[in-house]
């Protein structure tokens, strides 16, 4: 079985988040991550963010990534606005959303 191509990228992003956010954190920081994909059912996009959350937890840096799969916190069309307003901290979008200029702003 081959590993997903983005596995090293996910680890690098998690490490970067740990370094940036942990520098000034005194208490546990909870980041809310929303996505529209099924959670816990083997979906590779959900697995990617679960891997990031596990790596952050294993780093023991008083930070937790709480994942809200399946549009359970924010509907897909509202994710971009929710990040801009601080309702959520992170989101996982389909690549097609960001490959077309302006599409995220129309969500």
Cβ-contact 37, 43 below 8 angstroms? yes
**Could you state, in order of their start, the residue ranges of all structural domains in the chain?**
7-13+27-106
For the four alpha carbons of 45, 73, 67 and 12, in that order, the dihedral sign comes to: positive
* pLDDT single digits (tens) 37-74: 888 898 898 999 999 999 999 999 999 999 999 989 98
At residue 9, does pLDDT exceed 70?
no
**Is residue 97 over pLDDT 90?**
no
Taking the model in full, what pTM does it have?
0.64
Closest to 72 measured CA to CA, from 106, 45, 38, 47: 38
pLDDT value, residue 96: 73
- Three-state DSSP at 31 gives strand
């Amino acid at each position: 079985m081959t590993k997903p191509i983005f596995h090293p990228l996910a680890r690098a992003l998690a490490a970067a988040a740990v370094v940036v956010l942990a520098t000034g954190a005194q208490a546990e920081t909870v980041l809310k991550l929303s996505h529209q994909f099924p959670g816990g059912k083997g979906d590779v996009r959900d697995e990617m963010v679960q891997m990031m959350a596990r790596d952050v937890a294993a780093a023991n840096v008083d930070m937790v990534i709480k994942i809200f799969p399946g549009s359970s916190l924010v509907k897909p069309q509202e994710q971009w606005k929710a990040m801009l307003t601080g309702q959520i901290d992170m989101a996982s979008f389909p690549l097609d959303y960001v490959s077309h200029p302006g599409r995220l702003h129309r969500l």
